[in-house]
Amino acid sequence: MGLTLDRGRYYFVLNVPKHLVGKVLGRNGQPIKQVRQALKTADLSVAKRKAFELEELKRAEWHLLDQGEEALAYEKYAAARQVAASRGFDYVPEKVLLQRSFEENLPRLREAAGPIGQPVSPKIVDALLGGVEVALPPLRQVLADYIESTKTKHLRKSERQRHSWRLPRERAVTHFEKAVPSLKQAGIDKITRDDALIFRDWWARRIEAGETRAETANKDFGHLSQLFREWCELKGHGDLENPFAKLRFDKAVDPLVTRPSFSRTWIETKLLAAGALDGLNPEAADALLMMVNTGLRPSEILSCPLDDFCLDADIPFLRVAANGRELKQRHTAREVPLLGVSLAAAHRVVARGGVKRYLHKANTWSSLVNKFLGNNGLKETPQHTAYSLRHYVEDALLEAGVDDRVRADILGHKYARPVYGSGGGLQMRRTALEKIAF
């Protein structure tokens, strides 16, 4: 975009893209290579505002002109909506416009006719007068649009967190395409409740065969329902009925949803036995040991910079903060005292210069450690995982009679009651953890 000053007045100047030269017409109906239009102002700030609005209009029109015959129907429709909006109108299908009065349609007709001697492109006329077929994108394109449209929601996430957020949604779309392949290229407005029930039956057969769990299917249903609902709201199609709503299986049919906690005896005699973790690399082993007396999440340990290992304080502690990633909830930011085997492990991490190999890689760490536990007879049951240490700490604190506010402060849980003061701070948290620490 350019602004030129000619005899005290500003003009808008914009070069036509090379691939559209010959398609963009001037006032005389002949092809032009550059748009030049008077902004009728000598005020630079006013000129910039008008130029911005004019550029938005021109680029929308050119995008429509750029849609060749090979373009998909939903791409043409999206471009037509954009052009109509740039001219100040909603896109309305032709058959709807024909039901309206002449007076109601007059402003739209005048815009489509254009100024005398300045013909309007037929494609732009179609956009203004509803001559483009209404067509919505298929589910996978909807997902791509949704990710782009909602990226500001995830600015605080690390790249790994953004990947972890996208992955299950992409997986849900892939599963739907496998279950109902005939709809892979169909617009989402073509997905019916019957199609969604076919998808549900596809999952039901897998659950009955023991291939997967109901909770896994429910995650797919939730992701697709949210995707459909929020995309439609963003794009102005809120009148479409959500076919993925209320598909969830009853959790009662899935006995594996609850992750068990380790028993104190198992931790003492198995996990903390001499040489039990020798097969793990030192950083992975120390992260696991830091969980034993703290109940910290693996991601909370493995995302901490060196400065957040506050081991020289009167009460050594780990500071849980955002640190380049989005915290699960605001109340998860906290200071957790370190003692016993967890404090010793933290000292070793600091001596090595902090977390390096698994920094912001909690999923990688979990896969490695859970495989190690399974291969070395360190799982109390097949359902136990490294995360079961967090459940142990929670259960042990409860059995020790620790106040629920202090437990919430240690574990980073939401505290339902009104919060006053610091809840006793580090001293009270350490006193609580001393009751259960190894």
- Distance CA(301)–CA(390), nearest Å, equals 12
Range of the domain at 306: 264-434
The beta strands (E) that lie in 126-176 are given as: none
Do 425 and 300 belong together in one domain?
A: yes
Single out the residue in 128, 161, 193 at which a domain terminates: 128
Predicted TM-score (pTM) above 0.85: no
From residue 340, how far is each of 43, 199, 310, 434 by CA, in Å? 71, 51, 15, 9
Q: What is the pLDDT of residue 255?
A: 46
Do 337 and 242 belong together in one domain?
A: no
Q: What is the pLDDT of residue 268?
A: 94
Residue showing tokens 């955002």: 322
Do 425 and 305 belong together in one domain?
A: yes
- Mean pLDDT over 402-419 rounds to 75
Domain membership flag for residue 345? yes
List, for residues 197-212, the tens digit of each pLDDT value.
999 999 998 888 878 8
- Please say if the pLDDT value at position 218 is more than 90: yes
- Distance CA(25)–CA(86), nearest Å, equals 18
Do 315 and 420 belong together in one domain?
A: yes
- What number of other Cβ atoms are within 10 A of residue 180's Cβ? 18
DSSP letters for 59-117: HHHHHHHT--TTS-HHHHHHHHHHHHHHTT-----HHHHTTS-HHHHHHHHHHHH-STT
From residue 421, how far is each of 401, 406, 409, 418, 433 by CA, in Å? 21, 12, 12, 10, 20
Domain membership flag for residue 39? yes
- Distance CA(164)–CA(154), nearest Å, equals 11
pLDDT, greater one: 69 or 359: 359
From residue 246, how far is each of 181, 218, 343 by CA, in Å? 22, 10, 47
Q: What is the pLDDT of residue 64?
A: 63
Residues 305 and 323: beta-carbon distance below 8 Å: yes
CATH classification of the domain holding 312: 1.10.443
Domain membership flag for residue 259? no
Domain membership flag for residue 237? yes
Helix (H) or strand (E) holding 148: helix 139-149
Q: What is the pLDDT of residue 274?
A: 93
The neighbouring-strand residues paired with 5 are: 10
Strand, coil or helix: 347: helix
pLDDT, greater one: 415 or 390: 390
- Distance CA(343)–CA(349), nearest Å, equals 10
Domain membership flag for residue 134? no
Single out the residue in 104, 128, 152 at which a domain terminates: 128
For 366, half-sphere exposure in the C-beta direction (CA atoms, 13 angstrom radius) is 15
Domain membership flag for residue 269? yes
Do 290 and 397 belong together in one domain?
A: yes
Strand, coil or helix: 362: helix
Residues 94 and 152: beta-carbon distance below 8 Å: no
User: pLDDT-derived band of residue 220, with 50, 70 and 90 as boundaries?
Assistant: very high
Residue 332: closest CA among 343, 318, 346, 344: 318
- Please say if the pLDDT value at position 27 is more than 90: no
The neighbouring-strand residues paired with 25 are: 31
- Mean pLDDT over 351-362 rounds to 91
Do 145 and 290 belong together in one domain?
A: no
Helix (H) or strand (E) holding 398: helix 388-399
* Rounded (5°) CA angle 406-412-414: 85
Domain membership flag for residue 407? yes
Do 48 and 158 belong together in one domain?
A: no
Do 327 and 234 belong together in one domain?
A: no
pLDDT, greater one: 261 or 16: 261
Q: What is the pLDDT of residue 202?
A: 93
Q: What is the pLDDT of residue 327?
A: 55
Torsion sign across C-alpha atoms 414, 416, 418, 422:
negative
Q: Cα Rg for the chain, rounded, in angstroms? A: 31
From residue 299, how far is each of 327, 366, 387 by CA, in Å? 10, 9, 11
Burial of 140 (C-beta count, 10 Å sphere; 0-12/13-18/19+): middle
Do 371 and 426 belong together in one domain?
A: yes
- What number of other Cβ atoms are within 10 A of residue 107's Cβ? 12
Cβ-defined contacts of 264-272 (< 8 Å, 24+)? 264/392, 264/396, 264/436, 266/380, 267/292, 267/389, 267/392, 267/438, 268/438, 270/377, 270/378, 270/380, 271/378, 272/341, 272/438
For 167, half-sphere exposure in the C-beta direction (CA atoms, 13 angstrom radius) is 7
- Distance CA(309)–CA(301), nearest Å, equals 9
Do 157 and 245 belong together in one domain?
A: yes
List, for residues 147-163, the tens digit of each pLDDT value.
888 877 777 777 777 88
Do 26 and 84 belong together in one domain?
A: yes
Do 361 and 416 belong together in one domain?
A: yes
The domain tally of the chain equals 3
Across the chain, mean pLDDT equals 84
- Please say if the pLDDT value at position 57 is more than 60: yes
Per-residue burial over 45-78, b = 16 or more CB atoms within 10 Å of its CB, e = otherwise: eebbebbeebeeebbbbbbbbebeeeeeebbbbb
Domain membership flag for residue 316? yes
Single out the residue in 101, 128, 155 at which a domain terminates: 128
List, for residues 245-288, the tens digit of each pLDDT value.
999 998 654 444 457 899 999 999 999 999 999 999 999 999 99
